[in-house]
Every structure is written in C-alpha cells, then in structure tokens.
Amino acid sequence: MADHGAEETTTAAGVLLFMRHGETEYNRRKVRCGGDVDIPLTELGEAQALEAGLSLRASGVSIDTIIASPLIRARRTAEIVRDAAGLACPIAFHDGLIERRLGDWNGMDIGATQPMLDAGERPPGGEDEPEFRRRIGLTLAEILEWGHALPLLVGSKGVARVLSLALAADQRGPARNAEVMRLGPPAEGWRDLLGI
C-alpha cells in the first residue's frame, strides 16, 4: 500500500458529516433512483431536511462548508439544511457526489434488482460498482485535500455506502432520508479499497 502521508490527515483528520437527501417520489415508491434520474424532494422530503437542519442548529456543530451532489434532491436538501441550521457557509456542488448511475434499472423495484447488484452485475446503461467506488474515492481524496474543518456532504444512499467503506462510520446499514452520519477518520488502505 502506498504511503499518502498528510493527504489523509487534512479536513480535521479526515472527519466529515454526510447527509442523505430527503425523500423523493422514487424513495416513497421503493424503486431504484440512480444518479441519472434527477427528481425533486417530496413534501415529506422537504420537511425531513428542515428537521435535520434544526437538529444540526440545536447540536451547535461547526460546519464550515456544504458540498452536495448537483442533483435537485441533494441540492434542495443542502439549501434547506443550511438555512434551518443558520449556517453562513457556502454550498459547493460536486459531480463526483452524484449517485451511482443505474441506467435501465431506474424505476425498478429495489427488491427485484438487489440480487443483480449483489452479484456485481452492471446495470444496462449504468455504472458498475468498481467505477462507482473509484469516482467516489477520487472525490473523497479531493475533498480531504481542501482542508475544511468540518464539511457536510449531501448525497444519496449509495454514496453514503461507499464513503462508509473508506471512513469509519458512526453507524452501519443504509442511510435513511435526511439522516446525518459522522464519518472518519479514513480506514487503513481506503484508497486501495476504492480503487484509487
């Protein structure tokens, strides 16, 4: 394994917060919604984001930047959270935080497609798991190098899953809508694990 030195110790020793976007109609229907589908939050999703932002405000956590997927569900979640939390920090949008592209599997029942994902199949017209991990890994490396004290990343469930492979997570299992996770520091060999 390569020694990457100080790169792994920036961004408050590699600690960050991650929030999954609020509910979308596809989430409500329990169907696949990849990064190649751009849909808004439901009314419940907006309320979830508001509640999460108010909880962050009450916690007194010192977030110094928000970095979100540019998809409307993540973008809107980030905006609601920033306002509700009373944060004066900027929101940056990063294409690397877009959910895995699922091609023809978008809109399909989650249960019906899970065995194919578990078997490592590539969705027709989508990304395979190694491509997705590598994209998230390169994005994480870039964000860690920016040196923010405590960034909040806003994205989708698959992004949270891959980040949890690279960074120690305060929980296990899929991220729920508008749930905040504390991630970091980086796990030993995280770059190799994500293929970067």
Q: List the pLDDT tens digit at each of the 196 positions of the chain.
A: 223 333 333 455 678 999 999 999 999 999 999 999 999 999 999 999 999 999 999 999 999 999 999 999 999 999 999 999 999 999 999 999 999 999 999 999 999 999 999 999 999 999 999 999 999 999 999 999 999 999 999 999 999 999 999 998 876 678 999 999 999 999 899 999 999 9
Name the CATH architecture for the domain at 5-194: 3-Layer(aba) Sandwich (3.40)
Per the annotation, does 139 bind a ligand? no
Per the annotation, does 57 bind a ligand? no
d(CA 85, CA 59): 9
Asked about 148 being catalytic, the answer comes back as: no
Q: Cβ distance 70 to 156 under 8 Å? A: no
- The pLDDT, as a whole number, for residue 173 is 74
**What are the tokens at 82?**
């920033």
- Domain positions in the chain are 5-194
Given the residues 8, 21, 127, 148, select the one marked as catalytic: 21
- Reference 6, options 147, 123, 121, 122; nearest CA is 147
d(CA 69, CA 171): 22
Burial class (CB in 10 A: 0-12, 13-18, 19+), 118: exposed
- The pLDDT, as a whole number, for residue 172 is 67
Per the annotation, does 26 bind a ligand? yes
Burial class (CB in 10 A: 0-12, 13-18, 19+), 178: buried
Per the annotation, does 51 bind a ligand? no
Given the residues 7, 94, 99, 142, select the one marked as catalytic: 99
Q: Which residues lie across from 167 on neighbouring strands?
A: 186
Residue 19 one-letter amino acid: M
Asked about 131 being catalytic, the answer comes back as: no
Per the annotation, does 34 bind a ligand? no
d(CA 150, CA 153): 10
- 126-188-143 Cα angle (round to 5): 55
Helix (H, G, I), strand (E, B) or coil at 155: strand
Task: Name residue, tokens 């409500």.
Answer: 28
